[in-house]
Amino acid sequence: MAQREEAVRADESLAELQRSLAGTVIAPEDPEYDAARVCFNALVDRRPAAIARCAGPRDVATAFEYARANGLEVAVRGGGHNPAGHCLLDGGLVIDLSQLRGVEVDADAAIARAQGGSTWLDFDVATQAFGLVTPGGVVGSTGVCGLTLGGGIGHLTAQYGLTCDSLVGAELVTPAGELVQASDNENPELLWGLRGGGGNFGVATRLEFRLYPLETVVGGLLTFGGEGVRDALRRFRDLVAGAPRDLSCQAVLSVDESLAPVLVVAPSYMGPSADPEAVRALRSAVGLVEDTVRRHSFLDQQRVFDSPYGENRHYWKGHFVRELPDELIDELLRRLVALDRVPGGILIESLHGAPKDVDAPPGPVAYRHAAFNVSATATWPDAAHDEEHIAWARETAAALEPWSLGGGYVNYMQADEPVERVRAAFGDEAFGRLQALKRRYDPGNVLHRNQNIPPG
């Protein structure tokens, strides 16, 4: 009897929340519930008490009030692409921004304003209509806000810096329900913290970005196999060390069906040449088996990588490294075949060029001076192999530690990372400033389902 009464009260409470929202409330008994709780990482299978699909900042404030009144934990969903699955929780309330996907472009001012649930596909389609870009993510289903608040590495990092470097304004709803604006002129310390400090201070319902002119790039994929993989990876390393800032370049190590190593290199060149010298140097490496590099639209470049949403299980772990010496390359190649099964891959993201500018916009990220971000991205479909793949990623990341700068990329960190790793991602001084912001905007640490910065 008591259990039935509690269920009735819960139903009435959700009905009251629905009446208070311009958006919708999805409960476990609703037919769309299972689809609404799918996130990028199929390893994450959680059942919220309710999902509040918000239609604007006022709905977000109402959802926070409801969670507070009912003693519910809160998770926030933008694009839902975080491999840690922070956007879902068991038994709590999900503040879901997935209906807020508008992107407004002011071409004359070279500014774009993206709502909190927009993805990079939404953003790039809107800005490319005017021949403009912001350096964003490389997978279209990634959320704009999540990637930005964690830093942001992509196809235009060398040219224009981290995604957060182009962040010039924000609108947040704090856990207390306050609507806060951040810019160089209003709450500038908060804007500083948002350039890499994650979703610790409020729910971003709108971010504002600086835009740059760009319509086409020379890009695509160069795939190397056989005995040439090691030398091709060394050539990639040497090339980006001296590459001009008009070339971004990333690489992925994986294995083919026979478990032989494969290297995929993704150049993105925005200079005037149709056949840039750096790309020719990459092409000339031994073992090239496929070449799709050509001049094409930036939207086409944004499609060269894809990752199915909600289909595969993921566990990612890595380090920013000072260098990529031959010893580390050999270790990565050993780790690549250690699982005796396709492990997923090892992602190597170059940080040369604009991230190292001395006049980069101020923000807390501490990894600008790293040479590469190296991540073991375990990816697999079968739950029976969870332990093996997670162990492979952890062991591969551990093998990187002798070359590590400390900390890791918060956008790729799993939920089991200790606070010391989070602190190291910023450094002690910046972490202290971030904690001060946390005490101001979220003193109760309501927003703790993230790479958390506790109030202290």
pLDDT digits (tens, 9 = 90+) for 376-397: 999 999 999 999 999 999 999 9
- Least confidently predicted of 113-122, 256-265, 360-369: 360-369
Q: What is the pLDDT of residue 299?
A: 97
The average pLDDT across 424-433 equals 95
What is the per-residue pLDDT across 66-90, written as a single tens digit (0 to 9) for each?
999 999 999 999 999 999 999 999 9
Residues 253 and 125 in one domain: no
Q: What is the pLDDT of residue 456?
A: 85
What is the per-residue pLDDT across 246-303, written as a single tens digit (0 to 9) for each?
999 999 999 999 999 999 999 999 999 999 999 999 999 999 999 999 999 999 999 9
Q: Tell me how many domains the chain contains.
A: 3
- Is residue 132 domain-resident? yes
Residues 205 and 304 in one domain: no
Distance from the first to the final alpha carbon of the chain: 43
Which sign, positive or negative, has the C-alpha torsion 321, 327, 328, 329?
Answer: positive
- Is residue 63 domain-resident? yes
Q: What angle do CA 70, 75, 76 make, to 5 degrees?
A: 125
Q: What is the pLDDT of residue 197?
A: 96
- Please identify, among 64, 96, 128, the residue that sits at the C-terminal boundary of a domain: 96
Which candidate, 449, 436, 445, 366, places its Cα nearest to that of 407? 366
Residues 415 and 278 in one domain: yes
- Is residue 447 domain-resident? no
Q: What share of the chain is helix, strand, coil (3-state, %, to 5)?
A: 30, 25, 45
Residues 314 and 198 in one domain: no
Q: How far apart are CA 440 and CA 434, in angstroms?
A: 10
Residues 382 and 233 in one domain: yes
- Is residue 439 domain-resident? no
Residues 46 and 137 in one domain: no
Q: Please list the residues that pair with 26 across neighbouring strands.
A: 51
Q: What is the average pLDDT value for the chain, to the nearest integer? A: 95
Q: Does residue 168 or residue 244 have the better pLDDT?
A: 168
Q: How far apart are CA 408 and CA 422, in angstroms?
A: 7
The average pLDDT across 418-443 equals 96
Q: How far apart are CA 436 and CA 413, in angstroms?
A: 23
Q: What is the three-class DSSP state of 253?
A: strand
Judged against a pLDDT cut of 80, whether residue 3 lies above it is answered with: no
Question: CB atoms < 10 A from the CB of 36, how many?
Answer: 18
Token digits for 336? 């690549």
Residues 330 and 365 in one domain: yes
CATH for 22: 3.30.43.10
Which candidate, 282, 268, 254, places its Cα nearest to that of 375? 254
Residues 226 and 361 in one domain: yes
Task: Express as a percent the part of the chain with pLDDT over 90.
Answer: 94
- Is residue 312 domain-resident? yes
Q: What is the pLDDT of residue 10?
A: 64
Q: Are 196 and 208 in contact (CB under 8 A)?
A: no
- Is residue 29 domain-resident? yes
Q: Which domain holds residue 184?
A: 103-214
Token digits for 138? 């490389």
pTM of the model as a whole? 0.95
Which candidate, 25, 137, 67, 109, places its Cα nearest to that of 412? 137
Phi/psi of residue 352, nearest 5 degrees: -75, 165
Judged against a pLDDT cut of 50, whether residue 5 lies above it is answered with: no
Q: How far apart are CA 94 and CA 74, in angstroms?
A: 6
Residues 167 and 315 in one domain: no
- Please identify, among 42, 76, 96, the residue that sits at the C-terminal boundary of a domain: 96
Which sign, positive or negative, has the C-alpha torsion 336, 338, 343, 349?
Answer: negative
Phi-psi category of residue 330: left, alpha or beta, with phi > 0 → left and psi -120 to 50 → alpha: alpha
**Exposed e or buried b for every residue in 281-300, given b needs 16+ CB within 10 A?**
ebeebebbeeeebeebebbe
- Please identify, among 96, 128, 145, the residue that sits at the C-terminal boundary of a domain: 96
- Is residue 185 domain-resident? yes
CATH for 228: 3.40.462.20
Q: How far apart are CA 34 and CA 230, in angstroms?
A: 44
Token digits for 373? 């971000």
pLDDT bin (cut points 50, 70, 90) of residue 49 is very high
Q: Are 211 and 112 in contact (CB under 8 A)?
A: yes
DSSP 227: G
Residues 171 and 312 in one domain: no
Which are the contacts of 379, defined by CB distance < 8 A and separation ≥ 6? 307, 312, 313, 314, 343, 344, 345, 389
